[in-house]
Amino acid sequence: MSLITKLLPTLRNGLNRIINPVLTQSSSFPSLSLTSLIGQTSIRPITREECRVKYGKLWERWEEKKYFMFKLQKWHDQGPIKPRRRNHPLLSNPQLRGIVIKTLIKKPKKPNSANRKCVLVKLSTGREVIAYVPGVGHNLQEHSVVLVRYGRTQDVPGLKIKVIRGVYDCAPLVRQSQRPG
């Protein structure tokens, strides 16, 4: 005998215990015919006052945010989209002095492959930023004083500041002299 044939009588008995009182329409169970359900209950939407009573402060916050307002009306009330203000890394200064905290190496974006020499600089404004050191080789180490300017490094994402060579502790670029012959 399979498991289903063994369980079928017990399932049938359990269902009969539930269904029989409904079918006999005893006083403890209401009539469940479709017409009686339609006649007895009416589905009505909840009003704003009922929501205000039920949800209280939450409803007030929703109304302040115009949570339920139609999109076009909401856009009309909010006005045109304002452009996002760009945050200048040097706070709109042309150059700033800073102290090197740490030397770093960054990897460039996909087609290029090299190690870009960078330094973590604490600016005179108190802000900490990563700055790119241009040229081949540098003498910067911890506690060196540098002057930085705004200038994007094209192949390293997030690097928007460059160190100015030849100012303060950063040595100038030494040009390779061409050998004769």
Contacts of range 105-109, beta carbons closer than 8 Å, 24 or more positions apart: 106/130, 106/132, 106/156, 106/159, 107/156, 108/155, 108/156, 109/155, 109/156, 109/157
Based on the domain organization, do 117 and 62 belong to the same domain?
A: no
Q: Is residue 90 part of a domain?
A: no
Per residue in 44-59, pLDDT (tens digit) is 677 778 878 888 888 7
Q: Where in the sequence is the domain holding 130, given as residue range(s)?
A: 95-163
CATH number, domain of 99, equals 2.40.50.140
Contacts of 168 (CB under 8 A, 6+ apart): 97, 144, 145, 146, 147
pLDDT tens per residue across span 17-42: 555 554 454 444 444 444 444 444 55
Check: CB of residue 62 under 8 Å from CB of residue 68: yes
d(CA 27, CA 121): 83
